[in-house]
Each structure stands twice: as C-alpha cells, then as structure tokens.
Amino acid sequence: MIRILHTADIHLGAVFAELAECAAARRNDQLYAFERMVELAIDRKVHLLVVAGDLFASPWPTTDLVSHVRAGFQRLCDNGILPVVLPGQNDMPRSPDGVYARGVFDGVLVLDPQQAESVTLDIDGQPLHLHSGRIEDDRAVWPAAVSAAADGVHVGLLYLPAKTGLDIDIARWCDSAWWQESGASYLALGGVHNFCEWRKDERLLACCPGTPEGLTFGENGERCCVLASVDAASVSVERFAVNKRTLSEVCLDLSDCRCHDEVLQRILSFGSPDGMVHLTLTGQPAAVLDGALLQQQAAEAFYYLEIDDRSMLLGSPLAETLARKDDLSGLLVRNAQALAVRRSDENQLLLDAAVREILLRRQALGGGAS
C-alpha cells in the first residue's frame, strides 16, 4: 500500500478582512493546521503529502510564511516523505516572481496546474504514476499518453474551479473515458471547500478533503485531511481532524423571549472561547431588540461572534399592542405595517430594523418603553 496524506485549500496567508482584529490570529490558526498535518504525516509514516490546490492564498506570500512552509516541507523530506504541490486558482504562478517560480521549495514536487502531465515515482520499489489534470472549457483534461498497462499505482490530481462551490457532482469531472482507461486507483481533488467523495459500484475512487481550517461560515464543524491508502486494486481513506477552531452556524427563534436579558442569555448559552459562531436571530420576541447592544454584551463569550438579526417586530403581538397606542410610537408602527404589505421580504427586514431603531432612540431619549 502507498500511503498519501491528502489535503487541499489551505489558503495560508488569507486576508480575513471581515474578521478585523481576529485576522492575524486566524492566519496563525492556518499555520497550526499545516504544522499539524506535517506532524501527522510523520507519525503515520506516509510516503507522500499531497496538496491538491491553494497551499497559499496568493502567488506572493510573505517571506516569513514561505520560511514556515519550507521548514515544514524540509521536516517531511528529512523523514523520507515527498511533498507534492499542485497550485490552485489562488496561488498558481501568474508572474515570474510567483512563489513557485522562485524555486524556493527544494525537494518538493511542484506540478504545473496549466499542463496535463504525468510523473512516475519509485515508492519503496513500487512505481507510482501521478497524473495531474487541468480544467479547460469547463471539462477535465488529462495527460494523453497514459497506459493502464503500466505497472504500479496510478493516482490523479485535479483542482476544480471555485465556481463549483460547496455542492458538486464529482462524477461530472471524474467519470471520463480517460479515467476508465487509465486504471487509476485514486483521484485527489482540491477546490471544493467541504469534504466530498465519489464512489462507483461501492468503490471509493475520488475524494476532496475540504479546507483544513474553515475559511468562512459554511465550512463548519470538524475540518480534516485525508489519509489515503492506495494500491493498484483498491483505496481506503481515513479522515483526521486538524483544525484549531471550529466554525458553526446557529439559528435561534426568539418568539418565546419576553425581554432583552432573556435573549442575551440564550445567545450566551452558545458561547465558547474557541468558537466562531454565525448566529441568525428569528421569530417575534416580546421586546424591541437592540442588535448592536446584544453583539457588544455577548462578544466576550466567543472567540468570534457574528449576529444576523432577522427577528421581526412588525406583525408581532408586541407590534399590535404598540399600534393601538395613541402616540408617536403607535403612529409609527401603524404606518410601517401598512408599508410592509407592499414590500419584499428583504425590504421588510430593512423597514422593521428602521422602526426598531426609532423606537429604541425614542426610549433612550425618555420617550417611554413604547
């Protein structure tokens, strides 16, 4: 069996502009995941560590970042493990000064993402044929001169375009005449940010490990690399968690909440010092909520908290109570409810938020709870 630690879409050096003061720490989290995979490769005595696209977030990573990666790759080489890198959409060489064009990674096999090529390696006396494909005119192109009769193990590498997103029919790219003729045992994919696999007749043929450290919400939960054990007739994969922090998305219905403090306690119940949480608030609470204040009060219970307040005042029992009042608040709510009937869902959210903001400001200026 040839043992391959398969990862992809590490995106080292990502900007994380939306994370503000957490951005630098998240880049360190990515390095943690990379170093964890180096350790795992050594501990499991693999033959290759394969990065199937986007080791870096840019073709021009910082000198310090390149030094970290070189040190990790050198540790692999010192332990008899070959690092194999297929550049992806974000870090492929676009200019002569790109990171892969500088020849900074001694002992690393860097494949050309713009060419379909084959490389044959000797792994403990057994031939391993690596075939890298490329995407052209929305289809996968593989090396032409590949013979299934060639002894040894055949493994393909393919970076899929970002347009495929998180939900993809892998068979569209894999189930080709070339693949049937090549006798390939395993296809190492990149470019899809959540784990997916392709099986045919109950046999695993292709896999994408997903990002080892979640880059954005939607890449939630445990993040893994894949240890593929491959021979000419079969392949088995085992997933290993390598992420430092965990992203999650939570939808919280506030319809049974009677006041601001109840809502705050519900939010705090999801708190975690290492958690990165996108929290969507829905329902019709019996209070006029101040989303900015909730964010401020709850933030310290999370490593990172993002609140999307989609709870509604208009149409709620509270709004009906306010609308019956013979004051400015009642007039405001009555007019807003009349406008809401003629608005799309998104515009209703904006209108609802505007009404709540006015009510909160009026309350702050001493206009009373209504």
What pLDDT, on the 0 to 100 scale, is given for residue 14? 95
* pLDDT tens per residue, range 270-289: 999 889 999 999 999 999 99
Is 113 a member of any domain? yes
Find the domain containing 40 and state its range. Answer: 2-241
Is 369 a member of any domain? no
- Tally of domains in the chain: 2
pLDDT of residue 139 exceeding 60: yes
* Domain endpoint, select from 199, 220, 241: 241
* pLDDT tens per residue, range 322-339: 999 998 888 888 988 888
Q: pTM, whole model, 2 decimals?
A: 0.88
Specify whether the backbone of 147 is left (phi greater than 0), alpha (psi in -120 to 50) or beta. beta
Q: Is pLDDT larger for residue 138 or for residue 300?
A: 300
What pLDDT, on the 0 to 100 scale, is given for residue 136? 80
* pLDDT tens per residue, range 85-114: 999 989 987 677 889 888 889 999 999 888
Percentage of residues of the chain with pLDDT beyond 90: 58
- Summary mean pLDDT of the chain: 88
Q: Which CATH number belongs to the domain containing residue 13 in this structure? A: 3.60.21.10
Question: What residue type is 267 in one-letter code?
Answer: I
* pLDDT tens per residue, range 58-88: 999 999 999 999 999 999 999 999 999 999 9
What pLDDT, on the 0 to 100 scale, is given for residue 338? 86
Say if residue 220 is in the same domain as residue 329.
Answer: no
Say if residue 167 is in the same domain as residue 256.
Answer: no
What pLDDT, on the 0 to 100 scale, is given for residue 369? 47
Say if residue 27 is in the same domain as residue 139.
Answer: yes
Say if residue 198 is in the same domain as residue 262.
Answer: no
Taking Cα atoms as reference points, which of 267, 348, 279 lies closest to residue 308? 279
